[in-house]
Amino acid sequence: MAATDVAPVLELTGIHKEFPGVKALSDAGLRLYPGEVHTLMGQNGAGKSTLIKVLTGVYTPERGTMLLEGKPIRPSSTLEAQELGISTVYQEVNLCPNLSVAENIFIGRYPRKWGRIDWKGMQREAARMLALMDIDIDVAKPLSHYSLAVQQMVAISRALNVNAKVLILDEPTSSLDEAEVQLLFTVLRRLRGQGIAILFVTHFLDQTYAISDRITVMRNGEREGEYLCSELSRIALVNKMIGAPADEQRAAAVAEDAALAQGGQAQAGQAAAQSPELVLEARALGRRGALLPTDISIRKGELLGLCGLLGSGRTELARLLFGADKADSGGITAVDRASAAPFANPRDAIGAGIGFCSEDRKHEGAILSLSVRENLILAMQAQAGMLRAIPLKRQQELANNYVKWLGIKTASIETPIGSLSGGNQQKVLLARWLATEPKLMILDEPTRGIDVRAKEEIMDYVSALCRKGMSILFISSELPEVLRVSDRMIVMRDRKACGEYQRGELDDTTVLHAIAGEAA
C-alpha cells in the first residue's frame, strides 16, 4: 500500500553527521509511513548504516530534526530508541542460542508471578506472539534447534515485544536461502497489515521489488530521492544508486577507452582475451547464503572485470576463489595445481600463485601498527613458511624497490602504514602481493576511498601488469572504471553471474540493464 494520505510515523530531515575528516551524512532524510515496507538502498558508503545508527541512538547527529508521531525525539542510546518504539533486527541474529525461544523473546523482561519468573506464562505469550506471524514451533526448545530463518522470526518477535511502532530490518536476508526469504516476506506482509512501519535495508533488487511499497535511495551521504516502488523501474533505480545517467557513463567510458587504445593497451587487452591458456577455472563454485553455483575462467594476461551492486556476489566469489571462505560446492582448477577441489584456505591459494587485495583495507589488509616494510613482506613470508624467515636485508631491499616503483609516499619503509594516506596504503598492499610473483591477482575495490590521482596511478600499474602477462580479476562499484579496463566482464546479480561480455560488446546501457535485471 502507498500511504500518501496519512502522516508519517517517523520523519528525519536535514540530518548531518561528521567524523574526523569524513562527512558521513549531509542533509539526509527519511519518511516512514504506517503499514508500509520502506526499503533503504544505496551503494557501499552511501550513508545507510550511519543513518540507521542515528535513528537508533548509536550516533548523535550534529544537526537535523527527528519526529516520531509528530513529536521531536533525539535518542541517545539503543535502549532509549527501543523505549520510544523503534526496534532493530540486525543482519547477524543477536540472540542466545543456548536459551529457549521463549527466553530469547523475553530476555531482560521476564514476566513474574508471586516474585518468581512465570515460565509457563512466558511460554504461552511467546507462542501467541509467534502465532501472530503464523509461526508454530515449540518455544521451550533451545533457539539453536531451529533454522536461521526461524531465528530471524524470533528476533522480530523480540523486537515487537516492546510495542514497536517502527521495525528496522538491517540486511535480514543476507544469510537466508530463497525459501527462507519467502517465509520472512510472508511475516513482513502480515506485520505490514497490522499497521507497523517497516524499514527494510537490502542490496538485492529482486527482493526490493518483491516486498517494497516505497524506496529511498541514498548516495554520498545524502538522500537522492524517495519513490513509490510501483513508479520506479529497476534501471532507473540502478542509475540513481550509481549516480550518473547512462549517456554520461557511455561518453566517459568511450573517451577513456580511446585514450588507452592510443597507448596500445586496448590492443594488448584484446590479444590477451583471445589467449587460450587458462590460469584459473572454477565450476559450480558456491556457498550457501553467499553465492549460487557459479562458473568462471580467467586467461593468461587477461583483465576480467566483475561488476554488480553491493551484495550481488562479487566479493563472495572473490573470497571463495582465494579460499578466504569455504565453498560448499564446485571445484577450482589452477595452473600447476593437481587438485580440482576448492582452495581450503588462503595459503593454498597463495601456493597456486594467487594474490588477493581485500576491499576491507583496514580490517583485512593493512596492519596499521606495523611498518610499510612489515606489511609489504607478509604474504611473501606466508608463502615461504614461518620457519623460513626472510632476512632483514632482503626485506629492506624489496620494500625500497616497491616504494620507488609504485611511488609510495612515505618518510621511511619503517613508517607505520597507518600514518600513510589511503592511496599509499593501497599501493603497499598491492606491493605485498606483487612480491609473491602471482599468476593471478584478485583486486576487490582497489581504488575505493582514495583520491583521483592515486586511482589513476593504481590502474596504470594494473594495466602494466596485464601487459606483462599477469591475470587480473578486477572488482569495482564504479561502472565506468570497470568498462574502461576490462578485456572481458561478468555481471553479477542476486548472488549469481547473469551476463558475460567481451571488450567489443561492452556497452554501459546493456550492463546497467543486466545489473537491474531488465531487458535492454
DSSP string covering 316-355? HHHHHHHTSS--SEEEEEETT----SPPSSHHHHHHTTEE
Contact status, residue 441 vs residue 471, Cβ threshold 8 Å: yes
Sign of CA dihedral 75, 195, 15, 159: positive
Q: Where are the domains of the chain?
A: 10-242, 263-353+438-520, 363-437
Cα 119 from chain centroid (whole Å): 41
- What are the contacts of 50-53 at 24+ separation with CB within 8 A? 50/17, 50/24, 50/25, 50/221, 51/12, 51/15, 51/25, 51/218, 52/88, 52/168, 52/170, 52/199, 52/201
| Rounded CA separation 308/495 (Å) | 10
- Sheet order of strands, 329-334 included: 291-299, 278-287, 329-334
**How far lies 205's CA from each of 44, 241, 288, 311, in Å?**
15, 12, 19, 10
Which residues share a beta bridge with 440?
354, 471
pLDDT value for 259: 38
Contact status, residue 315 vs residue 473, Cβ threshold 8 Å: no
pLDDT value for 149: 75
| Rounded CA separation 244/250 (Å) | 10
| CATH code, residues 10-242 | 3.40.50.300
Q: Which CATH superfamily is domain 263-353+438-520 in?
A: P-loop containing nucleotide triphosphate hydrolases (3.40.50.300)
**Helices assigned H by DSSP within 352-492:** 372-376, 378-384, 392-406, 422-434, 452-467, 479-485
Phi, psi of 379 (to 5 degrees): -65, -40
Q: What's the DSSP call for residue 107?
A: T
Contact status, residue 442 vs residue 353, Cβ threshold 8 Å: no
Q: What's the DSSP call for residue 133?
A: T
Mean pLDDT, each 10-residue run in order, the chain (520 residues): 72 90 85 95 80 91 93 91 86 78 84 86 88 83 83 81 84 72 85 91 84 92 92 86 52 38 40 64 86 88 84 85 87 76 83 82 76 86 77 88 82 84 78 84 77 69 82 81 82 82 70 67
Q: How large is the greatest C-alpha to C-alpha distance in the chain, in angstroms?
A: 85
Cα–Cα nearest to 35, from 7, 12, 57 = 7
Contact status, residue 429 vs residue 375, Cβ threshold 8 Å: yes
pLDDT value for 262: 36
Cell of residue 328, nine digits: 560448499
| Rounded CA separation 242/478 (Å) | 8
pLDDT value for 215: 96
Output the pTM of the full model.
0.58
Tracing cell 565453498 back to the chain, one arrives at 327
pLDDT value for 418: 81
CA angle 54, 60, 62 (to 5 degrees): 110
HSE-up of 34 (CA within 13 Å, CB side)?
A: 11
pLDDT value for 92: 62
**How far lies 292's CA from each of 150, 313, 442, 458, in Å?**
22, 8, 20, 31
Same fold, 10-242 and 263-353+438-520: yes
